[in-house]
A and B are shown apart, each in its own frame.
Chain A
Amino acid sequence: MPRITLRDFAEAMSSRTKLTKSASESTLRAVFELIGTHLYADNYVKIKGLGVFKLLTVRGRESVSVNTGERIEIASHSRISFTPDKALAERINKPFSSFQTVTIDDSSAVASDGLTPTETISEAASPENTPFSDGAVSLSQPSADQSAQPQTAPSVSVPPSSCLLQPAYDAIPVSTAYIGDDEAPETDSADVAQPHASAEEQTSPDTVAVTDQLSPEDASEQSALDSQEDTSEAVSESSDRDAGIQQDGSCEPNIPAPSETIDDTSDDGQEATLSATGRRGWLIVLCIVLAGVCGYLLGYYRVFVPQAASSSPSAQVQKPQATSSPQRPKTGNLSKDTVKRATHADSVRLRMAAAQADSVALEKRKAQLRQESRKYNQMPSATHLIAGTYKVHTMKSGESLIRLSKQIYGSKEMAKYVVFYNGLSNPDVVPVGTKVRFPLLVSKQ
């Protein structure tokens, strides 16, 4: 990790930008100085292409000194956070860019070992592979819920454009169409890539192996299908297509093929096809419609807040909202309304005035306390002043000064004042029954 100093950097910069070395050096210095100054002035500096520098405050916390082991307090301070620009981050991450987050399939114990896509395709085609053998890591698919595509699961370093994810789409309609199985496609889709590929070979051992995995009644259906001439042709046709897909690496989903070739499958098959994909579509449409309706209602409510202002749309809208519409006539006399009703702006003004009045009173009290505090010993280098006793509290079993100060002052940091005010030698151990005096604290400014 060689270190590049400012000078080397300026050199590199000048060779790249064709500026003189001194120009690039002065630019560098200026840029970073400016970032520093503006960051402290404004808490936020953004440089296009580089990123965002933010100034964050870190809360003070109690901790233990590394050297002495006694309790110390780390004061609250600020730190600079840097978030790189997206382009920059991607550029830096290029060596690792082909990785993706994957779902871990806990059911299998063997971790995948860096199989390349071509290897896995041929493996999938071979009948020996059962879906439950290997492949721990499978690529997460946002569409299907199922996460088990073991024989097509390469290691983490598969390029994202791999088409091995597609079998989920191919699999679902086919499984229902062929096998007429109403079970959740998730469990069977893994199986289905198998009967698919094995069907193309059309050898009885394969189908037997496949049917072993299915329920007995399905097995009879399967063999019934296979025995029919048209369907077997259809099977080979669509499976060829599928095989073609697998070999090409193209990702066209195979959904239309099974439904059009298999006319003589039972109604179950077709219904199941519809329910599997159609149901999902319906759900999405429903969600969009609901969102639209909610947004529309919210919009109306927001925009047409009940007011004295007259307008027929608002009068109409106020009806469902059950506001003061019964009082207001629908026609006429609205412009001549002479009573000054409170508007939203007025209420805001009132609230702000109240807040101001409060803060004025608060400041007065604070100034009073600061005067008072002169009579008392103060903690050196503290943010708050002690101005008398606020409360005397008898310690009960299980109480701690820190928790009490959080209750009373709202902050754990104030505990130190309590300790100082009471002259406690060991703040961690305050015996039950001790009368602890909690001081009245006021901030210094």
Chain B
Amino acid sequence: MNNKEFVSALAARLGIAPKEAQKRIDGLVETLATQLEQGNEVAVSGFGTFEVKKRNERVIVNPASGKRMLVPPKLTVNFKESSSLKTRGRANTDND
């Protein structure tokens, strides 16, 4: 589901207007970003953890040119789901 549907679902759940819901989501994302920038992990129980991971620089080979290249280190946002979410999922899905 895309952003619009999510916002309307959230609005319905909280009993607020969709615009207000979007504002709240923006605030949430902003807070999350600030926390992550400071290097904190944000843990939401029953859902998962957002953390910042550093990926070290590494040597790759560009398949097109065959040249060896050095990819610089970078910081990425990583999400790790919690086990309760995993089990909840397994109960819901009906894969054969």
Interface residues of A (CB under 8 A from B): 1-6, 9, 12-13, 16-17, 19, 24, 26-28, 30-36, 38-40, 42, 44-51, 53, 55, 57, 76-80, 82, 84, 88-89, 91-96, 99-104, 106, 137, 140, 147, 156, 383, 443-445
The CA-CA distance from A16 to B28 in the complex, in Å, is 9
Verify A50–B32 contact, CB threshold 8 A: yes
The CA-CA distance from A102 to B6 in the complex, in Å, is 40
Nearest CB in chain B: distance from A158 CB, A? 11
Q: Which of B59, B77, B96 lies in contact with A444, CB distance below 8 A? A: B96
Nearest CB in chain A: distance from B5 CB, A? 8
Q: Which of A13, A24, A40 lies in contact with B88, CB distance below 8 A? A: A40
Verify A40–B92 contact, CB threshold 8 A: yes
Q: With an 8 A cutoff between CB atoms, is B43 at the interface?
A: yes
Q: Which of B25, B39, B93 lies in contact with A78, CB distance below 8 A? A: B93
Nearest CB in chain B: distance from A273 CB, A? 26
Nearest CB in chain A: distance from B50 CB, A? 8
Q: How extensive is the interface on chain B, given as a class?
A: 35 or more
Verify B90–A2 contact, CB threshold 8 A: no
Given contacts A30-B10, A49-B25, contact A82 B79 (CB under 8 A): yes
Q: With an 8 A cutoff between CB atoms, is B48 at the interface?
A: yes
Verify B3–A100 contact, CB threshold 8 A: no
Given contacts A34-B13, A101-B72, contact A9 B51 (CB under 8 A): no
Nearest CB in chain B: distance from A155 CB, A? 10
Given contacts A4-B35, A9-B42, contact A102 B92 (CB under 8 A): no
Given contacts A100-B72, A102-B69, A103-B67, contact A1 B85 (CB under 8 A): no
Verify A6–B75 contact, CB threshold 8 A: no
Verify B3–A47 contact, CB threshold 8 A: yes
Note all chain B residues with C-beta closer than 8 A to A5.
43, 45
* Given A13-B31, A28-B44, A80-B48, 20 additional A-B pairs, CB 8 A: A1-B40, A1-B51, A3-B40, A4-B42, A6-B43, A32-B46, A35-B47, A45-B1, A46-B6, A78-B86, A78-B89, A78-B95, A79-B81, A89-B77, A92-B52, A101-B71, A137-B70, A147-B67, A156-B72, A444-B96
Verify A47–B90 contact, CB threshold 8 A: no
Verify A91–B33 contact, CB threshold 8 A: yes
Q: List 26 A-B contacts (CB under 8 A).
A: A1-B39, A2-B40, A3-B43, A9-B35, A9-B42, A13-B27, A24-B24, A27-B10, A30-B14, A34-B6, A34-B10, A40-B92, A42-B1, A46-B3, A48-B3, A50-B25, A50-B29, A80-B79, A93-B74, A93-B75, A94-B37, A96-B75, A101-B71, A101-B72, A106-B68, A383-B96
